Structure formats: C-alpha cells, structure tokens
Structure 1
Amino acid sequence: MTDQRSVGKWIFWTLFAGLVIGAVYWAARPEPVWVDLAPVVTGSFEVSITEEGKTRVKDRYLVSSPVAGYLHRVSLEIGDPVEPGQLLTEVEPMPAGILDARSRAEAQARVGAARSALNSARQKVAAAEAEAQFTADELVRLQSLSSKHFISEDRLQQALAAKNRAQAFLNSARFDEEVMAHELAAARTRLEVSAAQSNGGEAFDRVGVRSPVKGAVLGIVRTSEGVIQAGEPILEVGDPTALEVVVDVLSFDAVNLSEGVQVRLDGWGGSSLQAVVQRVEPVGFEDVSALGVKEQRVQVVADIVSPAEHWDTLGDGYRVDATFVLWSADKVLQVPASSVFYADEGTYVFRADDATARLVPVTVGKSNGLHTVIEEGLGEGNLVIRHPDRQLEHGDRVRYRSR
C-alpha cells in the first residue's frame, strides 16, 4: 500500500512539473512576427521606361515674305487646310530698291541656288523611292514566308515598320522637292520684281505668298497688314497627319535606348498605339523637375507605326505617355521586388512554410522596380514575405497580416 502511494505521488509531481515547465516555456517563447505575404506567380513581365512626351509635325514650313513691301492681312486661321500653291496672302513690293543692280545680282544668285537645291531634292526623292520599293518588295517576300511559318512574327513586324519608315522618308523627300520647286519659283519672282517688270513687260502690282505643301496652318506669326521685310516669317504650315513623338528622358535612361526600340503610347485619350524609336539626340540639356531638382535630359524621337486611322484625332503638340519597352517575356516566374534582399554576397527571400519563415537563396533575373524575375530557388505557388524585417531570422514563427 505504501509503494502504491509513493508511485502515485511520483506520477503526480512529475505531471505537475511538466505542466509548470510547459507553462513557463509557453509564456517565455517569442511572439510570432506579423508579416505580409505574396505568392510566387508566373506571368508576363516587362522592363520599361515611362515618360511624358508630346506629338509634333515632322516637317514644318515657316512661310516668309519673298520681298520687302506691304503685307496684306492674313485671313486664314490655325487649322485651315492648304494646298500646294494656294495663295496665303499678298505683298505689295516697295519700289525703293527695285532697280538696284546689287539686288538684281543677288536675286539671280538665289535663282541658281534654288535650282541646284531642287535638283538635289529630286535626287533624294529618287533614292527614297528606291528604298520604299525595296522595303515593299521585302515585306511581300516575308509575308509569303510567314504564311509558311518560315520566319517569326517579330521579323515580319520589323519589315512592316521598315516599310512604313521608308514610305514616310519618301513623303518627306517629296515635300522637300515641292518646297525647293516653290523656292525656285519664289526666287524667280523676286528677280522679276527686282527688274520691275513681268513676263509681259508690265509692272507687278502684288506678289503672292503661296503654300509650299499640302497640309494645314499650324501657326500664324503675322496677322495684321503692314510693312514687312524680306525673309520675315508670316505663318507656319505642315502636314498634321505626319506626326512624330518627342520625349524628354533622363540621360541615365537614355543610354539604354537606341534606334528601333519599341514604344507604347498611352494616355492621349484613345487606344494604345505602337511606335518605334527613330532617333536619340546626341546632346543633353538641363531641366528642372516639378520638385525643383536639376536633371540632365535627352530628347528621344519616335515614329508612330500604328495604322493612321487609329490616331487620326491626334494633332500637333498633344500630350502622350510613352513607354519604352527594354525587355519583355510572356511566362516568367516572378515575385515582388520588395521580398528580395541581399546578404552575405548572395540574394535571398523569406519563404513562409506553415507559419514559419524559411531563408531561401535564390537566383534573380531582370527587375522593373515592382517585380523581380526568379530563375532558381522558388516554385510557382510558394508564399514569400514582403518587406522582411531586419530582425526576422530563419525559423521564426510568423503571423499573416495579408496574403
């Protein structure tokens, strides 16, 4: 009987001691750390630069007075369409210097220079026509190959963009030829005016100022009539359907851009448009940001390659958001960039396994500031800890604040 009591007491005190030790351990153990979790997902990924830009007409022509005289009032308004050779306004020549020999000699020299410029423009048109024909034939050839799946879709899109650019260069060369032709006509008119006689031998009453190209009035420099000097600007014309996009980017970002980089245009009031970098200016300039910080910026010019009917409501000087796509992929494993950190010359994340933080080494790829590509170390569906605290260690208990 005494032995049974001793065994009972021993069991009782053993259980009591275990309960006390368990209670002490439970009270002394550290509290779980509150964390935010994010899943490891597979999806599209893009590394890009987004800046605000604006549209502008590619070829702008500042129409000036061919002679000194008295300018008649310009009746046109901004946006009015004009045709090549259309009369914009008239200038009554001033008779004071009409018979001056020096003026006549200078006018003859200008006629010769304008004639040479016209010949040069015609050669450029011929070269542009050859390039446009070549790119068109190349596109037809690649389209036939694409139908048989011999080339990639990207190669076909590049050929289409090359054809569009070649056609745009051809249009620009033809505009230049028209300008040179009208400048030659203007130089001849000035020579005739300086000689104080027309082809029929009668004195000129007025000199017409005509549009050099087909397009619209983009700006009016001089609206009121009055005395005007030769070469003084009157108005500006251009083709509003031939637009390009100018974007001021930080010089830090400009070094990653080159001709041919794809650009996505948004934020202009319509659907997303596709463009391609045509030129990165070699000279930067200093600008002051909205926060008053001095920045070095570079102008980047992009051509719109989307069909014209998709952006026919865009005009000169319109605002757009330009996104330069530096790298993209359709299916890559990625995590929030805030979950990745560097320690001991390695890259790590904390993976949440059954309410426990596990320190996992990973191999990372591209990052766009919001997400980072994971090449090795994690699998789709894993949960990682965002913004891990510096006090968090491997094996710590965690409590989920959000997932």
Structure 2
Amino acid sequence: MTKKGFAGKWLFWGVFVLLAIAAVVVTIRPDPVWVDLAPVTRGPMEITIKEEGKTRVRHRYVVSSPVAGYLHRVLLEVGDPVIPGELLTEVDPMPASTLDARSRAEAEAKAQSARSALNSTRQKVAAAEAEADLAVRELARLQALSDDHFVSDERLQQAKAAADRAKAILRSARFDEEVMAHELAAARTRLEVSAARANGNGAVERVPVRSPVNGSVLGIVRKSEGVIQAGEAILELGDPGALEVVVDVLSFDAVNLQPGIATRLTGWGGGTLDAVVRRVEPVGFEDMSALGVEERRVQVVADITSPTDAWQSLGDGYRVDAEFLLWRSDNVLQVPESAIFVSEGQHQVFRVVDDRAVLTNVSVGRTNGFHTVIQDGLGEADSVVRHPDRQLEDGSQIGVR
C-alpha cells in the first residue's frame, strides 16, 4: 500500500469516528425545554379597580303643587331647559278647604322650618366657598413649587383632587340653597292662599308653579290638567351639567377606596375622562352576577373633573367604565406575574443564563394581576421564563419558542 493510500485510509476512519462520537453525544444529550421568555423591564406601573357604572344627575328636585286645586296642562317636555323662577304651570286653588287653626299652625311651622333650613343652607354655602377658595389657593401654591421640583407628583394630585372635591361640595351647597328658597316660597304661598280665603276672598288668584333651580326637565309626573292635591308631584328637575358617576364595587375592593382617589372614565363613547371619588357608601347590598353568583357590593360615587366640553354629550343614566387608581409609580423594576411562582414559601423565577434556566430567589412588591414589582434578585438586563413548565429544573437547557 502506498503512503498516499495509507493516509487516505486514516483520514476516512478518523472522520467516521468523529461522526460516530457526535451522533452518540447528540443521542444521549437531553432535549432542551422549549420556553417563552420575558425581559425584566423598568417603567410605569399602576394598580386599579375597574367596574361598570352609570351617570346620574347629582341633584334632582321634584316640583309639587303648593296647594290643592286644579292643575293646568304642563306644556314642557323632557329635556327642556329651565331657569330659576321660570313658570312651569299654574294651579287654580280650590274654593273650599280653608285651613283650620291646627292646619294653619302646621303650615306656619313648615314655613318657619323652611326659613331656618334656608338660613342653615346659606351658612353651608359660605363655608363651602371658604373651603373651595382655600383648596384652590393651596393647589396654585403647590403647582408653583412643582415647577421647581419641590413637590412630588403624588402630592400635587392629592391637592388637585381636594380642590375638585371642594368645588363639587360648593356646587351642591348652592343647589341646596336654591331648593330651600323654593320650599320657603311654596310654604308662604299656601299661607297666603289660606289667609285670602279666611278674609272672605272667594276668588283666589291662580297660583304659579315656578322652577326652583337652573337645569332641565328630567321627568314629567303629571302632564294632563286635572284636580291635584297639595304636595302632589308634577315635574322632576335637575342639572344635566352636574353629573356624578355611580359604580357598584365588590365589597372586597371597596375597602381599598376612599374619597379623593383619582378615577378614569372610559367606554362611554368618547375620550378618557378624569373623575375623583366623593363618597363610598357605608352600607353594602346583595347583587347577582351575570353568572348567577351572589355578590356583596358597595355603591361608590365619583365626580367628573374633566372640563364640561369634554363630556357635554353625556346624559343621565349613561353607561361608563370606571377605573379607580389605587397606586401608581413611574419607574419600577417589574416582570410578568406569570413568571413568578412560590416554592417552600419563597418567590422564585427561572432566570436565563447562557441558554440555561437558573432558579433564582426574588423579593416581590405590589402586583396588578399582570406585572409584579421586583425589589431584589433580578436586574434590568435579565430575562425570565414565562409560565415555567413542571419539567423545567435548575440548570435545564432551554430553547426559545
């Protein structure tokens, strides 16, 4: 055999042996576990509670007949605007039924009570004006400091919520003042009609029924003319520009809500609106879910704080999605919640190092159901395994899907 043939033979067998060794290595090496990866990121995160709610005119006023008599036909329609003092309808008082001594004393007491209530409401208006003025000045002061980075965004948001809440309380107090003034006028009208009858004036002039508030007609209880009793409802009025949002929240979530919490309103057909929680009802009620499960819920009331122009197409009883902001941070280290599991009381993840899954202990913070804050154990450049499989172990070879 020549020297050249001998070298070729050794080359052939050498290549054959190498291929055989490679085949054995590939055969005995375990297959990688195929996984999905997620990066450890740093960025904003928030925790919210989202529920369906509806809009509601904050203040409703039922206009009733001040005296018994004959009601004239109501010409207004639902949605018609009204202003304070506007004539809604008229009532012809009945010629009979002058007040006896006892009834007159009761009417005088009601008039005095209405007068006292009006004075009390005016004091509340003055107090609400002072509170609103203070809240607005405090907000302006903090905004000036915020421009120089002396105030945190959270403190500024709290001041803004306080100012919005104070303005809403002031609007409510002024509405109550208008209503109390109308109540006093109605009580005086009844006394005047009774006095005219007692003095022998058989023909008592027609009694006008006027609007006590600025707003719109929300409902008509009595439209047709006919006999009506004193105190019987005729119209329902309210200001559609003073809407509130009512949300039925699970009692489990309601314990985390309090007045002043920022709220976002979506799903109503327009852009996102800002609102603030005004009241969390202290009493819960039982409700049935869409799946037929009994739930305990609590009513939460929020005031819309966005400019009126942004939601002027909203009306009474419209559907909205309310998202209550419990917590927010603009810069936190976080991973998908699906990457974290608990083993022997310790939160752990599989961190990826050189195509292997390394079991890593982590310290976690808040979670919103989708992402979890990482306080210790991971870095921003790391990647973790999402939905780790049971066959995945510490040091397992992995492949990315």
TM-score (norm 2): 0.89
CA distance in 1, matches of 2:119, 2:164: 25
Contact kept, 8 Å, 2:362 with 2:376, in 1: the verdict is yes
Partner of 2:50: 50
Q: Does 1:88 align with 2:94?
A: no
Partner of 2:5: none
CA distance in 2, matches of 1:76, 1:305: 31
Contact kept, 8 Å, 2:67 with 2:93, in 1: the verdict is yes
In structure 1, the gaps of 5 or more residues are 1-11
CA distance in 1, matches of 2:187, 2:113: 9
Aligned CA distance change for structure 1 residues 36 and 115 (closer, same or farther; 3 Å): same
Partner of 2:115: 115
Identity of matched residues, %: 69
Partner of 1:359: 359
Partner of 1:188: 188
| One-letter amino acid of the counterpart of residue 70, structure 2 | Y
CA distance in 2, matches of 1:91, 1:185: 15
CA distance in 2, matches of 1:310, 1:327: 26
How far does residue 49 in structure 1 lie from its aligned partner after superposition? 0.7
CA distance in 2, matches of 1:27, 1:150: 66
Is the partner of 1:195 in helix, strand or coil?
helix
- Residues 300-319 of structure 1 show CA distances to partners (whole Å, capped at 9, x for unaligned) of 11122222332222222222
Partner of 1:4: none
Which is further off, 327-336 or 142-151?
142-151
Contact kept, 8 Å, 2:333 with 2:373, in 1: the verdict is yes
Aligned CA distance change for structure 1 residues 358 and 147 (closer, same or farther; 3 Å): closer
Which is further off, 246-255 or 175-184?
175-184
Aligned CA distance change for structure 1 residues 256 and 72 (closer, same or farther; 3 Å): same
Query: Aligned-pair RMSD on alpha carbons?
Result: 2.8
Is the partner of 1:302 in helix, strand or coil?
strand
CA distance in 2, matches of 1:33, 1:361: 21
| One-letter amino acid of the counterpart of residue 347, structure 2 | T
How far does residue 143 in structure 1 lie from its aligned partner after superposition? 4.4
Partner of 2:203: 203
Alignment length, in residue pairs?
A: 393
Is the partner of 1:164 in helix, strand or coil?
helix
CA distance in 2, matches of 1:174, 1:199: 38
| One-letter amino acid of the counterpart of residue 68, structure 1 | A
Partner of 2:223: 223
Aligned CA distance change for structure 1 residues 350 and 155 (closer, same or farther; 3 Å): closer
Partner of 2:7: none
TM-score (norm 1): 0.88
| One-letter amino acid of the counterpart of residue 376, structure 2 | E
| One-letter amino acid of the counterpart of residue 285, structure 1 | F
How far does residue 330 in structure 1 lie from its aligned partner after superposition? 1.2
Partner of 2:384: 384
Is the partner of 1:397 in helix, strand or coil?
strand
Is the partner of 2:390 in helix, strand or coil?
coil
In structure 2, the gaps of 5 or more residues are 1-11
Aligned CA distance change for structure 1 residues 31 and 153 (closer, same or farther; 3 Å): closer
Q: Does 1:338 align with 2:338?
A: yes
Contact kept, 8 Å, 1:192 with 1:198, in 2: the verdict is no
CA distance in 1, matches of 2:142, 2:22: 77
CA distance in 1, matches of 2:150, 2:331: 24
Partner of 2:125: 125
Matches within 5 A, 1:254-269: 254-269=254-269
| One-letter amino acid of the counterpart of residue 185, structure 1 | A
CA distance in 2, matches of 1:272, 1:195: 57
Partner of 1:7: none
| One-letter amino acid of the counterpart of residue 85, structure 1 | G
How far does residue 352 in structure 1 lie from its aligned partner after superposition? 2.8
CA distance in 1, matches of 2:56, 2:358: 55
| One-letter amino acid of the counterpart of residue 366, structure 1 | R
- Residues 183-232 of structure 1 show CA distances to partners (whole Å, capped at 9, x for unaligned) of 11111111122334499957324322211111111122222222222222
Aligned CA distance change for structure 1 residues 17 and 139 (closer, same or farther; 3 Å): closer
Partner of 1:398: 398
